[in-house]
Amino acid sequence: MSKKFRRNRIELPIGPQHPSLKEPASFRITLEGEKVVNAVIGVGYNHRGLEKACESRNYIQDLYLIERVCGICSHTHSTAFCQGIEELAGITIPRRAAYIRVMVAELERLHSHLLWLGVAAHEIGFDTMFMYTWRDREKVLDILAEVCGNRVNYGINTIGGVRRDVDEAMLQNMSKMADALESQVKYYLDLALTETTLSARLAGVGKLSYEDALRFGVVGPVARSAGIAYDIRVTEPYAAYGDIPVDLVTDTREDVLGRTVVRIKEMLVSLNIIRFCIKNLPDGDIAVKAPLRIPAGEVISRTEAPRGENIHYIRSNGTDKPDRVRVRAPSEANWRGVKHMLEGGYLADVPITIAAIDPCYSCTDRAIVIDSGSGTEVKDWQSLRQYSISWYKKQGIDVSAVKIPERKYY
Amino acid sequence: MQTENEIVEKLCGEFGFLQDKIYVQRQKRIFTGFLAKEEFEQVLHYAHDELGFYRASHVVGTDEGGDLGFIYLLSNEDGIILALKEKAPKSDPVINSMTDIYPSLELHERELVDLFGAVVEGLPEGPSYPLPDGWPKGNYPMRKDWDPKYFDRNTMTYNPPAGGAGKEGGSK
Amino acid sequence: MGLLQRAIEWGTRKSPWIIHFNAGACNGCDIETIDALTPRFDLERIGVLQEGSPRHADILVCTGAVTLQTRDRLKQIYDQMPEPKYVIAVGTCACTGGIFDGCYCVMGGIDTVIPVDVYIPGCAVHPEAIISAVQKLLDTIGQRKKGEDRHADRK
């Protein structure tokens, strides 16, 4: 691979091992001084050959496989899959099951957004907030463990409904958790909107205009932060979302600060949805019987994952094994936008820009051929992150100056 | 706000060959049958330019026996999905890239090259995706006649029994 | 056992530094591994520190069924770690390949590429199990006889 030395250009290969992102990915960034002029992104060390495996297993076995496409948004993948099979089989799940699916989906959105908030704070050097948000996240995981039986990979869905019911005690705990979490989330929103050190790091970074966001087909909070009102819970309500008022959160900032604000506000919306479900949970069964052999047909099933629109395409052939399963997870749609966001920005902003789309590499399934040995400086993620923190310190922005008061909650 | 039926009517009015090949599956879902390359491109351009299908979510590659299938999922601002299908024979699986209109399709079209053996002309330069380095050429895992149990991961070679692997299912 | 050796083992036992690598996981075990470092479970209280570079680490905490893309990188990271080094395989996929065993891009568990000292099954692994595994590993350090090969049964 030839490299051109024009003016002060250097190429930085980063990854696939880097401690901050917890997932393998490679980036090849071309710099001119401090500015990024080109970015080649290779994600997808997680390509496992899952879709081929789906074709040789039956639908119930595939449910467990599909759930493990991603550990953070596992419920939306299994919901999308179950919905698709239920549509092919022509069965309707009971209302109670639909409400339980919504409750678990919103709990998942809460834990995922808190996780993201912590990771983003960590990327800009704000480790205190990382610890705070992950401590709050434990409350959500406790509820999930109580309702579903596991903290991660919940396994609550089955074809035809859900596997476990919720009782009065669980609903009360959920309600208490929602109240406790609300004050924390409102505090994070206040922090994002008013704390000048935070906005100095996040505002103007990773800009993606409304027109570019449409052109690159981004989804989720990235699209909503550019003003695009696109949320599958509102566009095509599934499960019980047709009965539930969902506030669509958008922002006009078009940058990382906008994405932060959108995610925090979405957490408040999720808490309201959970409260609505608790109050209006209908009685009845939690599942209907589903056939083993699914009639031939094809279906496109969509859900709104924490990261955006999640699409499953399933084709059946009348047997107990699917003919074709294709998962298009939301992060796949956002990667093209990242390349555009990185170019023109500073090297110091690379970690937070990439983190701001909330990438989920195992949802993405890609691979890269990186030819190292080009003789350029090799930085790993940790040193890139340190570089970004010290670069901003020189500009006078030190996020460790933010004071976080101790709060009491249950 | 156009309904699904209005969109189908407009498309059929513009393209006679779509007459029996397009149907409304349910609310927000329009499916077509498999179209040849030239017909497909005409419909796609019309859908993008005239009908407001501004977003391309994905391309699903399929194995249709003698052909390779490509299902483009386009959507408009009302959330209606138009599943536009293209086919190309396995003996000459050449299609044109749609990334000049829909840049988001780049990596999805690249996947078709690795996993199905399609030839996508006009794709921007970039690394192959998603298979690893050293993957044996001519092996397209998502085709129905390729069976993972004959693939040796240590030597990276594919050794089917004499007579081909056939369409066996239920290996694991 | 010489004084230097004893000092190194005392340092590792009292404050092991870990490096985390995702070899193709779904991220479930990864987020539970990071969870073990956050306030509720807090691995740091037993001296565990997460490091960025393999050259500074004592323990490699690895998740995921090894994919064909990551196996060379995994080997490189293991080779870059200085002795004495230990490997913990976190999760069912890291132990045996789990639910992905047999997929065309999956080698199997971590031990198809590098020797493993501790296996933690689970999907996803509970942070308390990770703490227990680290504790068990630390107890075995310093109890080995001189010249004993930890991985003799693999040959």
| Token couple for C48 | 């565990």
Looking at the structure, tell me whether residues B121 and B140 fall in a common domain: no
Name the percent of chain C in helix, strand, coil, to the closest 5. Answer: 40, 15, 40
Cβ within 8 Å, pair C103-A18? no
- d(Cα A348, Cα A35) in Å, to the nearest integer? 9
Looking at the structure, tell me whether residues B150 and B122 fall in a common domain: no
Using the Cβ of B122 and the Cβ atoms of chain A, whether some distance falls under 8 Å is answered with no
- d(Cα A107, Cα A278) in Å, to the nearest integer? 12
Whether residue A405 has pLDDT greater than 80:
no
Lowest mean pLDDT, pick from A303-317, B74-88, B150-164, C107-121? B150-164
Residue C150: inside a domain: no
Cβ within 8 Å, pair A367-B129? yes
Backbone angles phi and psi of A365, in degrees to 5: 65, 50
Using the Cβ of A53 and the Cβ atoms of chain B, whether some distance falls under 8 Å is answered with yes
Taking 70 as the pLDDT cut, the residues of chain B under it are 163-172
Cis peptide before A16 (omega within 30 of 0): yes
Q: How far is CA A158 from CA A11, A60, A85, A261, A290, in A?
A: 49, 8, 10, 34, 9
Using the Cβ of C73 and the Cβ atoms of chain B, whether some distance falls under 8 Å is answered with no
Identify the structural domains of chain A with CATH numbers, from first to last. 1-410 (1.10.645.10)
pTM: 0.89
**SS3 label, residue A114:** helix
Where residue A365 falls among pLDDT bands split at 50, 70, 90?
A: very low
> Which residues does chain C have within 8 Å of residue A384's beta carbon, measured at their own beta carbons?
none
Per the structure, how many domains does chain C have?
1
Under a CB-based contact definition with an 8 Å cutoff, are residues C81 and C55 in contact?
yes
Where residue C153 falls among pLDDT bands split at 50, 70, 90?
A: low
Which of C102, C104, C107 is nearest residue B141 as measured by Cβ atoms? C104
Query: Which residues, numbered 82 to 101 in chain C, qualify as contacts with chain B under a Cβ-Cβ cut-off of 8 Å?
Result: 101
pLDDT in the model for residue C150? 65
First-last CA distance in chain A:
57
pLDDT > 70 in chain C, percent: 90
Whether residue A408 has pLDDT greater than 80:
no
The residue of chain C nearest to residue A20, with distances taken between CA atoms, is: C52
Once rounded to an integer, what is the mean pLDDT over residues A227-237? 94
Looking at the structure, tell me whether residues B123 and B150 fall in a common domain: no
CA distance C14 to chain A (A): 22
Closest Cα partner for A386 from C51, B63, B31, C80? C51
The residue of chain B nearest to residue A364, with distances taken between CA atoms, is: B130
Q: What type of residue is C11?
A: G
Where residue A145 falls among pLDDT bands split at 50, 70, 90?
A: very high
CA distance C18 to chain B (A): 28
Where residue C53 falls among pLDDT bands split at 50, 70, 90?
A: confident
Query: Which residues, numbered 77 to 106 in chain A, qualify as contacts with chain B under a Cβ-Cβ cut-off of 8 Å?
Result: 87
Q: How far is CA A2 from CA A5, A60, A193, B102, in A?
A: 10, 50, 45, 30
Once rounded to an integer, what is the mean pLDDT over residues C60-69? 90
Looking at the structure, tell me whether residues B123 and B141 fall in a common domain: no
Interface test with A, best of C26, C62, C78, C103 (most A CBs within 10 A): C26
Contacts of residues A275-282 at CB distance under 8 Å and 24 or more positions apart, as own/partner, are A275/A175, A275/A178, A276/A244, A276/A245, A277/A99, A277/A102, A277/A103, A277/A106, A277/A240, A277/A244, A278/A103, A278/A171, A278/A174, A278/A175, A280/A99, A280/A243, A281/A96, A281/A99, A281/A100, A281/A166, A281/A171, A282/A95, A282/A96, A282/A99
Whether residue A2 has pLDDT greater than 50:
no
Query: Which residues, numbered 53 to 112 in chain C, qualify as contacts with chain A under a Cβ-Cβ cut-off of 8 Å?
Result: 53-54, 64-65, 67, 69-70, 73, 77, 99-100, 102-106
> Which residues does chain B have within 8 Å of residue A42's beta carbon, measured at their own beta carbons?
127, 129
Looking at the structure, tell me whether residues B24 and B62 fall in a common domain: yes
pLDDT tens digits for range A328-363: 888 888 877 887 888 888 888 887 887 777 766 544
> Mean pLDDT for chain A?
85
Closest Cα partner for C138 from C79, C42, C59? C59
Once rounded to an integer, what is the mean pLDDT over residues C49-59? 85
Per the structure, how many domains does chain B have?
2
| Token couple for A78 | 């299994």
pLDDT in the model for residue A300? 96
Using the Cβ of B129 and the Cβ atoms of chain A, whether some distance falls under 8 Å is answered with yes
Other Cβ atoms less than 10 A from the Cβ of A260: the count is 30
**CATH number assigned to the domain comprising residue C28:** 3.40.50.12280
Backbone angles phi and psi of A135, in degrees to 5: -70, -40
pLDDT in the model for residue C147? 57
Where residue C84 falls among pLDDT bands split at 50, 70, 90?
A: confident
Looking at the structure, tell me whether residues B115 and B51 fall in a common domain: yes
Under a CB-based contact definition with an 8 Å cutoff, are residues C105 and B151 in contact?
no
pLDDT tens digits for range A79-125: 999 999 999 999 999 999 999 999 999 999 999 999 999 988 888 88
**SS3 label, residue A191:** helix
CA distance C95 to chain B (A): 18
The residues, ordered by sequence, that sit 6+ positions from C38 with a Cβ below 8 Å of its Cβ are A130, A131, A134, A135, A138
Which of C50, C51, C103 is nearest residue A48 as measured by Cβ atoms? C103
What domain range is C51 assigned to?
3-144
Q: What is the full DSSP assignment across A122-165?
A: HHTT-HHHHHHHHHHHHHHHHHHHHHHS-SSS---EETTEES--
Whether residue A385 has pLDDT greater than 60:
yes
Which of B132, B149, B151 is nearest residue C69 as measured by Cβ atoms? B132
Closest Cα partner for B91 from B109, B117, B70, B113? B117
Using the Cβ of C51 and the Cβ atoms of chain B, whether some distance falls under 8 Å is answered with no
CA distance A52 to chain C (A): 7
> Which residues does chain A have within 8 Å of residue B76's beta carbon, measured at their own beta carbons?
none
Looking at the structure, tell me whether residues B8 and B49 fall in a common domain: yes
Q: Which chains touch A (3 or more CB pairs under 8 A)?
A: B, C
Looking at the structure, tell me whether residues B62 and B143 fall in a common domain: no
Cβ within 8 Å, pair B129-A235? no
What domain range is B121 assigned to?
4-130
Where residue C139 falls among pLDDT bands split at 50, 70, 90?
A: confident
Looking at the structure, tell me whether residues B71 and B93 fall in a common domain: yes
Looking at the structure, tell me whether residues B46 and B26 fall in a common domain: yes
Looking at the structure, tell me whether residues B35 and B70 fall in a common domain: yes
The residue of chain A nearest to residue B71, with distances taken between CA atoms, is: A313
Q: Which chains touch B (3 or more CB pairs under 8 A)?
A: A, C
pLDDT in the model for residue A77? 94
CA distance B95 to chain A (A): 20
Question: Residue A294 gets which letter from DSSP?
Answer: P
Chain A residues contacting C via beta carbons under 8 Å: 16-19, 22-24, 44-50, 52-53, 64-65, 68-72, 74, 115, 130-131, 134-135, 138, 150-153, 360-362, 367, 380-383
CA distance C17 to chain A (A): 13
